[in-house]
């Protein structure tokens, strides 16, 4: 599957969200002026608008306008930070990422993985499950942080699989933990939660899921 790479925004170009916020602020100001003008035109001549009330209304709107401007500036700063992150993460494209809590798409080639070793575990097994959670393969593996490989036993080409390490202890306890896998980064994009990376397998990984980077 070919993944389309996100485009980097032009420097200093306002975002659509920022333009919308600026337009909304302008609309609010114009609406206030129209309402105030209408109120002055239609006030009772025998009971004109009290100057104190008039000043209070102006002060209230001024406060709201300042808050809107402050929020708009904060949003602008957030947009600038996201843009800076994109520039930084664009250099990651083409590198191999070590990813946690992500499935593996079997493409016919061995899939490298890494576990977190448990010194007091007597036995460690690799357990492979399909997208429905059914176990399709298990095998004894080395209890170390060296990169190991699953050769695709029990797998179908193009399917997604979840790899986990099963630790067996002398007291009978059995625990499991997800393993980290490796995939090439092909693109970077922005999401509501921050930067995300398009991988060669067609999956998308959030920044927090990438714990290592190599060639």
The residue ranges of every structural domain in the chain are: 16-91, 94-215
CA atoms within 13 A on the CB side of 91: 5
CATH fold, domain 94-215, is Immunoglobulin-like (2.60.40)
- Other Cβ atoms less than 10 A from the Cβ of 181: the count is 26
pLDDT digits (tens, 9 = 90+) for 43-88: 666 666 666 666 666 666 666 566 666 666 555 544 544 555 677 8
Q: Which residues of the chain, if any, have pLDDT below 70?
A: 1-33, 36, 39-40, 43-85
Question: Residue written as tokens 């070793």?
Answer: 117
| Predicted pLDDT at 96 | 94
């Amino acid at each position: 599957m070919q993944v389309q790479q996100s485009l980097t925004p032009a420097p200093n170009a306002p975002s659509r969200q920022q333009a919308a916020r600026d337009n909304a602020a302008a609309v609010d100001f114009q609406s206030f002026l129209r309402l105030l003008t209408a109120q002055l035109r239609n006030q009772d001549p025998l009971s004109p608008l009290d100057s104190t009330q008039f000043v209070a209304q102006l002060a209230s709107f001024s406060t709201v306008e300042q808050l809107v401007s402050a929020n708009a500036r904060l949003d602008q700063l957030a947009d600038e930070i996201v843009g800076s992150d994109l520039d930084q993460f664009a250099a990651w494209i083409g590198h191999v990422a070590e990813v946690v809590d992500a499935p593996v798409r079997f493409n016919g080639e061995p899939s490298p993985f890494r576990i977190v070793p448990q010194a007091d575990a007597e036995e460690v097994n690799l357990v492979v499950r399909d997208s429905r959670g059914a176990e399709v393969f298990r095998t004894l593996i080395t209890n170390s942080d060296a990169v190991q490989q699953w050769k695709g036993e029990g797998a179908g080409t193009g399917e997604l699989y979840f790899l986990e390490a099963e630790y067996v202890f002398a007291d009978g306890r059995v625990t499991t933990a997800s393993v980290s896998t490796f995939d090439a980064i092909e693109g970077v994009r922005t999401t509501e939660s921050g930067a995300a990376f398009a991988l060669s397998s067609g999956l998308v990984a959030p920044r927090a899921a990438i714990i290592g980077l190599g060639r």
